[in-house]
Structure 1
C-alpha cells in the first residue's frame, strides 16, 4: 500500500535517475523537471518514489503536501492508490499538474472524479522562430522597442560560463535590491532559486545567456532543453537601466535556441495579471494545459 514513508527527498544526486526516466517519458511542463525541483527545494520541498516503473512526485508548500500523477506506464491500481493517499494527507486539491491525456484516463477509471483546469499553471509555448524573428505586424511594437534599445544602449551578448558566473550572482543581488525582495516573499524565494541554479550551474542541464550594457550585466536568462522539440526558460531577469532590455534578452535567447528546437516554453503566469498580459503579447503557439483533482 502506497504511503508517505515511500517517498524520499529529491537531491542533486538524483539527476541521472530523472534523466534516464524522462528520456523514456518526456515532460512538457516545467513543474516536473529536475531543475525546477532542486532549485525550489528550499521553498517547496520535493520528494519522490518509484513504483512499478512510475515516478510519483510530492511537494509540500506551507505545510500542505500535494502529489503529481504517476509518470510512467498506465497503472490503474497505482493511480487508485495514489488518489487514496492524496485524499488522506492533502487539502482540497490533492493532485495537481495533471496533463489532459491523464485527466481523460482518470475520468475513465472513475467518472466521479472532479478534475478542473488550473489556468494559473498553464504554460505558454511559442514558436522559437517567432520569438527570434518577430515577424509581421503583430510584433511591430516589440520590434520598435528593440530598435530603441539597440540605438540607446551600447550592448553585447555572451553565453554564461564559469568565467562570468560570479558576475551573474552579483547581478541577482543587485536585481533583488532594486525589486525590494526582502519585502516580497515570492521574489525572495525566486531569487534564492535562481542563485541555487547559478551556484550549481555545471551540475544541472542548464545553459545561459547574458547582455552587457556598458560592460555591466543588464539582463540574463537560464534555460535547458526540455524534450525533443522544446526548450524551457527557467529564469530571465533584467535591470531597468535600459528600456527594452527584457525584450532583448527574450529575442537573443530565442535566436540561440531557434536552430535547436521548434518551440520555447516560457512557463506559467501564476495568475499574475500583468505577467499574463505580457506573455500574451508574444502570441503563444499553444498552452501546456494542466488539471487539478478537487476533493
Structure 2
C-alpha cells in the first residue's frame, strides 16, 4: 500500500522538484492547481521509486495521474494498480497526454483502454505569439489593444503584490455577481479555488498582473511555471464592460512572463463554446489532447464516468 499524504503548501519544493524538470506541459501539474483545487478532489501525493505520483477522487471515482519521474515506470504503475485494488476501485488515470499513450502501450501492451475528451485538452501557445501578436492572424487582437490604449491612454499595468490582492478579490466578486457564478457548480468551484490562490499567492509561488483604467482595476491574471519551458496561466478575469480589457491583460502579462518560457499553457475550454472560440482565436501552437486511461477488462459498471 502506497503511503499517500495530503498536499499542503509546505510540499511545494518537493512536488516542483519533479514537475519543473519534467518534459510534461499539462496544466494539471501546476502546484497552484494541485493545491488550490484539493478541496474538490482530495488530492494526495507520494514519492515511489523516484517517481512523483498523485491520487484523487473525481466525485466517487478514484483516479491517478501518470507518474512523474525517471526509473522503472512499469514497476510504479503496477504499484498504483495494486493501490486501486486495495481501495476496491478500478484503476484509471486522468490527464494522460498523447505522448504517454505509446509509452503505456509499450510497457503493458493491450492492458489499457484510452478515451480522449476534447473538452479537457490544453491550449498551448508560443510565448512570442502572445507577447508580440505579429501578423495578419492577430490583427483583430491588435485592434482591441489599440482601442483600449486610445480609450484609456493613462492605463496602468502592475505586478500583483500583497497590497494589491484585495483589488483582485473585489473585481472577482463583481465578476461573479454579474455572471451568477455562485449559482453554478463549475464557476462556484472555480471561485473557491481562485480565492484560495489569491489568499496564498506567495506561498503557492504565483505571479500575476493587474490592469487599471481611470485609476480603477479592470482586469487581473496570474499563473506559475508548469515546467522549465512552459508557463501556466491559471486565471484571467476582466470587467466585460471595458472593451479590450481581456486582450490587454493577456498581452501585458505575456510580455512580463520571463523569456525562458517558450510556451504558455492557457488550460482547457471545458466544452464551453465561447471559451473555445476565444482560446482558438489566439492561434494555439499545440492543442494538448489528454486521455482517461483505464486498465482493460475491469467491470464496466466500475469504470463508468
Task: Kindly report which structure 2 residues correspond to 1:197-236, keeping only aligned pairs within 5 A, or say none.
Answer: 197-236=197-236
Cα distance in 2, alignment partners of residues 126 and 19 from structure 1: 22
> Does the aligned pair in 2 maintain the 1:127–1:264 contact within 8 Å?
yes
Measured after TM superposition, the shift of residue 122 of structure 1 is: 1.5
SS in 2 for 1:231: strand
Measured after TM superposition, the shift of residue 225 of structure 1 is: 2.1
2:25 to 17, 20, 28: 28
Task: Kindly report which structure 2 residues correspond to 1:113-262, keeping only aligned pairs within 5 A, or say none.
Answer: 113-154=112-153, 155-257=155-257, 259-262=259-262
**CA deviation profile, 1:199-227 (whole Å, cap 9, x unmatched):** 01111111110101211111001021222
Length, aligned pairs only? 291
Deviates more, 1:58-67 or 1:74-83: 74-83
Cα distance in 1, alignment partners of residues 260 and 103 from structure 2: 33
In structure 2, the partner of 1:99 is 97
SS in 1 for 2:141: helix
Cα distance in 2, alignment partners of residues 113 and 156 from structure 1: 52
**CA deviation profile, 1:26-85 (whole Å, cap 9, x unmatched):** 541111222101111122221112211112111213222211122122331321232354
In structure 1, the partner of 2:268 is 268
> Does the aligned pair in 1 maintain the 2:20–2:226 contact within 8 Å?
no
In structure 1, the partner of 2:38 is 41
**CA deviation profile, 1:87-131 (whole Å, cap 9, x unmatched):** 76446x821111333321221212242113232222111111111
Measured after TM superposition, the shift of residue 273 of structure 1 is: 1.8
Cα distance in 2, alignment partners of residues 149 and 287 from structure 1: 29
Measured after TM superposition, the shift of residue 23 of structure 1 is: 4.3
In structure 1, the partner of 2:63 is 66
Q: Which runs of 4+ in 1 moved over 6 A?
A: none
**CA deviation profile, 1:234-285 (whole Å, cap 9, x unmatched):** 1110012311111111111111126342211111112222211111111111
Cα distance in 1, alignment partners of residues 202 and 160 from structure 2: 11
SS in 2 for 1:261: coil
Measured after TM superposition, the shift of residue 86 of structure 1 is: 3.8
Measured after TM superposition, the shift of residue 164 of structure 1 is: 1.1
Cα distance in 1, alignment partners of residues 88 and 240 from structure 2: 44
Cα distance in 2, alignment partners of residues 106 and 60 from structure 1: 22
SS in 1 for 2:162: coil
Measured after TM superposition, the shift of residue 290 of structure 1 is: 2.0
> Does the aligned pair in 1 maintain the 2:30–2:232 contact within 8 Å?
no
> Does the aligned pair in 1 maintain the 2:123–2:284 contact within 8 Å?
yes
> Does the aligned pair in 2 maintain the 1:218–1:241 contact within 8 Å?
no
Cα distance in 1, alignment partners of residues 21 and 138 from structure 2: 37
Cα distance in 1, alignment partners of residues 131 and 99 from structure 2: 31
In structure 1, the partner of 2:297 is none
Say what the alpha-carbon RMSD is for the aligned residues: 2.0
In structure 1, the partner of 2:290 is 290
